[in-house]
Amino acid sequence: MSLSAARVEVMRLRPTLLPDFTTTRRQPTRPVEARDGNFDAKFDSETLFYDCFIGIRGRIVLVGPPFLNLKDALQAATIVANPSGHACSFELRELDRHGQLHVDAPEGTRSLVITSALGDVTIDVQPSEVDIFAGRRVMFTQSRNNDLRWIQDWVRFSRDIHGADAVLIYDNGSTRYTPQDLADAIGTLDGIAAVRVVDWPFKFGPQGIDARRYWDSDFGQHGVWEHARRRLLEAAASVQGSDVDELVLTTNGRSLFDIAETSATGVLRYEGRWVIGLEGREPPPARPGRRHIDYTVVRKERLETRFGVVKVDADRCPPKWTLVPHRIKDRQQWKIHSIGGHLGSRLVTREVSYRHFREISDSWKYERMGREAFDPARHEDDAEMQALVQRVNWDR
């Protein structure tokens, strides 16, 4: 482990589960006819809260899946702080696919006793961890079974190109290695001053039917984003939210974090382009040992006119973001592709983009290993990415 990464730890949470104190379960809102055969197995009916901790604003924060049919019971609940015995006021918040309680409790509170129609439950209060990433430029993601070298390369690129110096990864039940293995792999890298791997065993949740319909039950990733924000990242200098198969570029060579930190809104939102595998030019599909640097071809932009004026790439990947946490208001939700309630984050910049590597994947969501023959009308060598790749030390 490098000396600079001495603060490398695995965080294990203490969730509050409904089966531990009640027979009531969370009920889905999706119509039965719109559920597939695996819906019930994927749906999180049992987690009440992922975690309970002291927030940066002094209140105790409990984060979990959306409350749905549990809301009325929680809204009418009483909350008592231990060891003081103080009766606490609280605020229930409903967000997109996510729920929170913000509790006013006296300093020194070690646990909360929640009494409601669901039953009685005692929940231990965990410390804030915002000091770990205070002032850092943080790479942040959720991952499951991504190859450890892919994760290392993802970190190396942002470290050497953008100046990232901290990493936060939520490991969502990987079976190929342990959270400690993941933390150790990142800990071997130079230049990374703080690492947290959060053991996140919760269900990802059923996804939508298509790009637009029934995105109502994938609670897990929305929980990751708000948990990371409120327990770990609110004091960070800036945060890059992306996946392991994505590398971020800027058109002028500036650091992504620098652009975000000096931006007018505190949020950069940018779209991506697919990096693909071609017949005869890249490693065979699903070849063990393949890496980001093995792929050099992108799909050309396919520009279409929208609203009679704006030209957009019809093949673009959905926007991702980099932001400055203290410039996001308390009630604006960190989401996967945007910041809820933040008008400025609806804008998409052309100063930043990302490359989405199709074959840096185990095709967990859908099959991504389909090959194409090179077509100069559809494909081009990514000279911009190749120039940046030369600046990365891929061995340390």
Residue listed under structure tokens 């990302």: 354
Q: Can you give the CATH number for the domain in which 17 is found?
A: 2.60.40
Mind listing the pLDDT tens digit for each residue in 156-212? 999 999 999 999 999 999 999 999 999 999 999 999 999 999 999 999 999 999 888
In a domain, 330, yes or no: no
For the whole model, what pTM was predicted?
0.94
The mean pLDDT value for 30-42 works out to: 96
From residue 368, alpha-carbon distances to 64, 160, 205, 361 in Å are 31, 28, 21, 7
In a domain, 93, yes or no: yes
The lowest-confidence range among 88-92, 118-122, 309-313 is 309-313
Mind listing the pLDDT tens digit for each residue in 228-245? 999 999 999 999 999 999
- For residue 163 the two structure tokens come to 């100046």
Report the DSSP beta bridge partners of residue 93. 100
The mean pLDDT value for 91-106 works out to: 98
In a domain, 67, yes or no: yes
In a domain, 312, yes or no: no
Tally of domains in the chain: 1
Closest CA to 313 of 359, 268, 348, 360: 348
Domain hosting residue 104, numbered range? 13-124
Whether the per-residue pLDDT at 84 is higher than 70: the answer is: yes
Whether the per-residue pLDDT at 1 is higher than 50: the answer is: no
pLDDT classification of 2: cutoffs 50, 70, 90: very low
Structure-derived torsion over alpha carbons of residues 176, 181, 187, 192, reported in degrees to the nearest 10: 50
In a domain, 383, yes or no: no
